[in-house]
Structure 1
């Protein structure tokens, strides 16, 4: 048996030694790899600064400084592993693990920062190609401006000024943006020739963005015409649907909210302009949709309430009064016997008080003083009040349990205990004083 355990111990030690050797080799490889990555990134930073300028490469520069600082720690740990002071296997293992961690972090950080610059660098190197593309876009888009102006004029004969205000200035704005794009492209070329790479790249970005926005504005003119026709078609369908909904609404419960929703929908229908009048189909469609949806919602609520009657306001007020009464009783019992009351009873009381505060907040006033409670709030208020009463009552029962468990029980009988002749105190007085923090001392005080 001793041989078995000895062999097993040697095998475990051999496995641990192999693991330590492996992490030591990994630490050395990581140091070499990270150091080479720093040198490579330093060269990449110089190239990036030449293409982009100083400021856009700030994050990569800061990352290199941080990595160099932490790699100094990694090299120092490796030096400690090879100095003249003997180290325990645990110390070597800890240092090598830290070296690997620092090197992996360094390479990950540098990879992330250099990758972020890859696209801007590629873009800067393609600057002449991009500028040529911008100028071609400017020429092409300028040919669309007259057509866009004609479209706006044609739309003005059919749609109101309010409807057209989202696109009527688009042709003029597009023309201005195209002029700005040309100017920015020329600035980018001059700055690049002067070696001002950062300014050249900023001007290039401004040029491409201006051309893109001009195209978007011209597209919006064409899109508006299509969307306006679609809105008119949808509006006709919703008008018919709304008239049908008004017929159905007359068979629904005629409660105030249903009547108000019907009036809103009727007003939206009456506000529609006559045929041949310049219109704003988008605004009309939005108003009609909202009124139609409001009527549907009001009818649904009314029918649901018809199937599930709303609690009378008197029931809700009675439930709130009962909850307040139950809270008051529980508070008094716990306050009068604080030394005996445990966490469960106190927790139930605290939760009941929290919900009671939420109830006042939900109703927007002091519920007990409210003259009326809105129908929309009665059901929820009733449930909250009942929950308060339930928790308060549960807290009272738990408090009574704690009091009964803590009240002194003298085996000598009723004539010898606290309630007997010796103590001179009735059970009521003992219960009251027992709730005090000094209740445990009363026996000694009345002995003798």
Structure 2
């Protein structure tokens, strides 16, 4: 007994220590959350001044929600220290709720202030960013004449279709730079007038315009390099394509290979003569597609040549065998429906489904098909064999059900009339099977006579 009471005492002491720690956490969390509200309120005032009320709406709403829930936390803390005595369970529940509310408040405010931190930092650096936009615009303007000269030089070598992606880039870049300089001026004037939200919008538009202008000018220089690379790759693919055609002509021919050779030859013939402005990107794409098509056709032809293609006669035999197996299984199950269980019926249904899929695969009734393409014979034979196998299984399962349902006595013994049961009595099982199978009426008449 002394050990029992000793353990109980230790448990009470540990629980009291945990409650004290929780109470201390509740007080600390409450102070921290209240201070965080005060700091965030100051940050909201600055953010609204820099970004405008629309941009700070979510932070303002979060701050209002936090203040409301923190009021609940203060009320719970007051209940812990009023004149009304509280049980340890009540104190524990309130302190846990206080900690939960305070942690939620700080997490929500962290999330909302972090979402605005980058924009606030950008607003604080607005004068510096405005000067950067102007400097970048001035630097990029010096590249515009060079880009125009590059486009003119490229026009002497490449077609209008090829240059369509970059020929307007210098003019567009110049317009964007003018817009960026104007936007920087608007941002500066709006800031001086205290219209911070409009100033930030103008500054963001100016910064984006400078970035897009730089991208357009870079694209002109990149085009020249990529066009030369495409021409070099095109020359290599032309040589490879001619070699591929020579190899393909020696391969076992199939309609697909012949068609792929024709398409590749047409793509080679469509290449412009020397000295004509070209579009190396389009020509390279067209030639690659034709070359890949020939490779795929040759691979398929080789795979088919390596396979043993079943003779048409064998495929026809497999289909006929499936039809015979299905016919037998259908007749047996239809003639003994009262005795046939779910397994046999399921196999028959699956066999019929596979047989129907075979007709769909061949596009006509397999039994009436006079020709089956070589590419379809192997799969057609597999489907026919699958249908025959399932039909055979259905027949075996049906025979099992019939054997289990037959009377166990001799042919002249009915086992005590209809009350003998399906297996033991015989009469009930036999008549149930016959009646369930809808045996022809003349047989029934003869048995009752």
TM-score band by shorter chain is: 0.7 to 0.9
1:290 corresponds in structure 2 to: 289
Deviation string, structure 1 residues 137-171 (Cα, Å, up to 9, x no partner): 22211121111111111111110110010011111
TM value normalised by structure 1: 0.78
The question of whether the paired residues in 2 share the 8 Å contact of 1:359 and 1:385 is answered with no
Greater shift after overlay, 22-31 or 158-167? 22-31
> Which whole-Å CA distance do the structure 2 matches of 1:225 and 1:259 have between them?
37
1:430 corresponds in structure 2 to: 432
Once the two structures are TM-superposed, the CA of residue 19 in structure 1 deviates from its matched residue by 2.7
1:45 corresponds in structure 2 to: 44
Deviation string, structure 1 residues 166-220 (Cα, Å, up to 9, x no partner): 0111111111111111111111111111111111111001101111111111111
> Which whole-Å CA distance do the structure 2 matches of 1:198 and 1:131 have between them?
15
1:29 corresponds in structure 2 to: 28
Between structure 1 and structure 2, the one with the greater Rg is 2
2:247 corresponds in structure 1 to: 248
Greater shift after overlay, 348-357 or 13-22? 348-357
Provide closer, same or farther for how the CA distance between residues 58 and 237 of structure 1 changes in structure 2, counting only shifts above 3 A.
same
Provide closer, same or farther for how the CA distance between residues 319 and 96 of structure 1 changes in structure 2, counting only shifts above 3 A.
farther
> Which whole-Å CA distance do the structure 1 matches of 2:16 and 2:365 have between them?
75
Once the two structures are TM-superposed, the CA of residue 337 in structure 1 deviates from its matched residue by 6.8
Residue 184, structure 1, aligned to residue 186, structure 2 = no
Q: CA RMSD in A?
A: 4.5
Greater shift after overlay, 215-224 or 5-14? 5-14
Residue 307, structure 1, aligned to residue 303, structure 2 = no
Once the two structures are TM-superposed, the CA of residue 287 in structure 1 deviates from its matched residue by 0.7
1:93-132 alignment runs, 5 A limit: 93-132=92-131
Provide closer, same or farther for how the CA distance between residues 417 and 34 of structure 1 changes in structure 2, counting only shifts above 3 A.
farther
> Which whole-Å CA distance do the structure 2 matches of 1:187 and 1:324 have between them?
87
The question of whether the paired residues in 2 share the 8 Å contact of 1:60 and 1:110 is answered with yes
Deviation string, structure 1 residues 394-429 (Cα, Å, up to 9, x no partner): 78988998999999999xx96137475998944244
Once the two structures are TM-superposed, the CA of residue 318 in structure 1 deviates from its matched residue by 3.0
> Which whole-Å CA distance do the structure 1 matches of 2:182 and 2:78 have between them?
59
Residue 415, structure 1, aligned to residue 424, structure 2 = no
The question of whether the paired residues in 1 share the 8 Å contact of 2:326 and 2:351 is answered with no
The question of whether the paired residues in 2 share the 8 Å contact of 1:30 and 1:103 is answered with yes
Once the two structures are TM-superposed, the CA of residue 294 in structure 1 deviates from its matched residue by 1.4
Structure 2 residues not aligned, in runs of 5+: 438-449
Provide closer, same or farther for how the CA distance between residues 202 and 375 of structure 1 changes in structure 2, counting only shifts above 3 A.
farther
> Which whole-Å CA distance do the structure 1 matches of 2:352 and 2:99 have between them?
53
Greater shift after overlay, 80-89 or 153-162? 80-89
Deviation string, structure 1 residues 341-398 (Cα, Å, up to 9, x no partner): 6xxx599779959986995999597887996877767766776777787788878988
The question of whether the paired residues in 2 share the 8 Å contact of 1:49 and 1:57 is answered with yes
2:55 is paired with a residue whose SS is helix
2:440 corresponds in structure 1 to: none
Greater shift after overlay, 5-14 or 300-309? 5-14
Greater shift after overlay, 71-80 or 248-257? 71-80
The alignment of Structure 1 onto Structure 2 pairs a total of residues equal to 427
Provide closer, same or farther for how the CA distance between residues 351 and 340 of structure 1 changes in structure 2, counting only shifts above 3 A.
closer
Provide closer, same or farther for how the CA distance between residues 403 and 265 of structure 1 changes in structure 2, counting only shifts above 3 A.
same
Greater shift after overlay, 16-25 or 41-50? 16-25
